[in-house]
Structure 1
Amino acid sequence: MNWVRIKPLLSEQLIIEFENEAGYLFSAEFKEVIKIYNGASPESKKFRYKQGNSIVSRVFNNLLSFNKDDRTNIWRTNQIIHNVWGENGELDQYVVFANDPFGNKICFDKTNDHIVFIDHETLSIEHVADSFSEFIAGLKEIE
């Protein structure tokens, strides 16, 4: 898979620092992707998953950057999610790692490492994949 608009990771220590703050350890595969493609967008952007009896199609825009001064960074995004969207702690089990083009969030579920999609308007949470590997493997080019 090709990635574009890479923001070179300033230090691998930033990943560890964020893990400590979030209380969540990322998978080795996710860390390797971030070390190489921090903040980047994949050229293959569409992902699909089953929701009830339907197949849902979504678009993956970009990984969040671990560099604290980058505009779309994992630090600020997760702070906003937990302070604004999840005022009562109902979103504390999620760690946002990516955006779609419409303001929705793609997250890790800290309880089971699954990937979920959070709609920014309704705060509905949809299961996307059982792992980061499965999520990445399922990305397809937009037709």
Structure 2
Amino acid sequence: MGLTKWIYAEEPVDDATIVSVEQLFKVTFPQDYKDCIKKYNGSYPVPDIFDYDNGGQGVFNDLISFTNSDMNITMFKYFAEDSFTKGIIPFGRDPFGNLICFDYRHTKEAPLIVFYDHEEEGEAAITQICETFSELLNRLYSIE
């Protein structure tokens, strides 16, 4: 996980919990993400700024929790089944209510990392960030 420090982590997640969430969404999460969520469930990365492939800039506020009863990854099941967002599974958020997601629409084996802007509609709501979860973590930096 490189130079990323994770703060405010919730309880660790076990393999059985990850498998149950994968079954719910009918996907297999990338191993780098599974390794991260096991240790850093619901936590906040420091640094937290990243650049998109297109040169834009975003903020990775936190990982969506697998265990928190108020905001849990399973709450996004209907989002991931909607006709437009089918195959897009959120795993993180920015500070403004937007989502950082795996995009399984084109491949089940290697989902792209995309940003979902909740204020946009259609394909305009989705912007590719990068190709893998590890690449996203490697892009994190601070402005200071």
- Secondary structure of the structure 2 residue equivalent to 1:134: helix
Residue 128 (structure 2) aligns with: 127
2: distance between equivalents of 1:142 and 1:4?
18
2: distance between equivalents of 1:24 and 1:142?
35
Find 1:93's aligned residue among 87, 98, 108. 87
Residue 35 (structure 2) aligns with: 32
What TM-score, normalized by structure 1, do the two folds share?
A: 0.86
Q: Is the 8 A contact 1:45 1:142 kept in 2?
A: no
Task: Name which structure has the greater RCO, CA cutoff 8 Å, separation 6+.
Answer: 2
What TM-score, normalized by structure 2, do the two folds share?
A: 0.86
- CA drift at 1:27: 1.1
Q: Does 1:75 align with 2:74?
A: yes
Output the amino acid matched with 2:112.
H
> How big is the alpha-carbon RMSD for the aligned residues of Structure 1 and Structure 2?
1.6
1: distance between equivalents of 2:24 and 2:77?
11
- CA drift at 1:50: 3.2
- CA deviations on 1:48-84 (whole Å, 9 max, x unpaired) are 0133xxx211111000111152x221111x135247x
Flag as ranges the 4+ runs of structure 1 deviating above 4 A: none
Aligned length: 134
Residue 142 (structure 2) aligns with: 141
Q: Does 1:109 align with 2:103?
A: yes
Residue 15 (structure 1) aligns with: 18
- Secondary structure of the structure 2 residue equivalent to 1:128: strand
Unaligned runs of 5+ in 2: none
- Secondary structure of the structure 2 residue equivalent to 1:98: strand
Residue 7 (structure 2) aligns with: 4
1: distance between equivalents of 2:112 and 2:80?
19
Residue 64 (structure 1) aligns with: 64
Output the amino acid matched with 2:120.
T
Q: Is the 8 A contact 1:114 1:129 kept in 2?
A: yes
- CA drift at 1:10: 5.0
Identity of aligned residues (%): 33
